[in-house]
Amino acid sequence: MTDPSDMIRQAERQCQQRGARFTPIRRRVLEMIADAPGSLKAYDLLDRLAAEHAAARPPTVYRALEFLIDQGLVHRIESLNAYVACPCPEHAHGFQLLICRLCGRVEELHLDEINDHLARRARELGFEVQRQTIELLGQCDACRQASERPAAPAEFP
């Protein structure tokens, strides 16, 4: 797992190199997402942001999220309608997400051969891919192991 403070420094560098404005609100939204153990929904972000900034409204959060997605700093998890920080925003290719249904942990993969194959097949069919989201839902190793452990024997007085 990437250190959230490293993610913020990387985001600052990336935005500076691109000439993109990394405003305090955008930074704070990214910090909240990066600090979360799993994904966060927009209204969870709004609740947290409103506790710090009384003027925070839904458009504030959605504009920040749109910026962070455009910069490759955050991914939208379509199946959960939630957001997760990108641990490697410098990676220019597509990605795949492994999402644990139990604990919400999200891991990002970069299997370029899958992306290349899909893009090639889409071109062969005359289709222009504008956005790709591959989400694999299941159980992480920790949750699977926890569910496989035998229950502790009941204690009797």
What is the tens place of the pLDDT at every residue in 131-156? 888 999 999 999 999 988 765 555 65
User: Which of 48-57, 70-79, 88-97 is the least confident region?
Assistant: 88-97
What pLDDT was estimated at residue 125? 97
What pLDDT was estimated at residue 96? 93
State the first-to-last Cα distance of the chain, in angstroms, to the nearest integer. Answer: 44
Residue 82 three-state SS: strand
What pLDDT was estimated at residue 150? 66
Q: What element of type H or E holds 138?
A: strand 134-138
Instruction: Calculate ∠ Cα 105-109-15, nearest 5°.
Output: 90
57 pLDDT exceeds 60?
Answer: yes
Structure pTM?
0.82
47 pLDDT exceeds 80?
Answer: yes
Residue 92 and residue 14 in contact, taking contact as beta carbons nearer than 8 Å: no
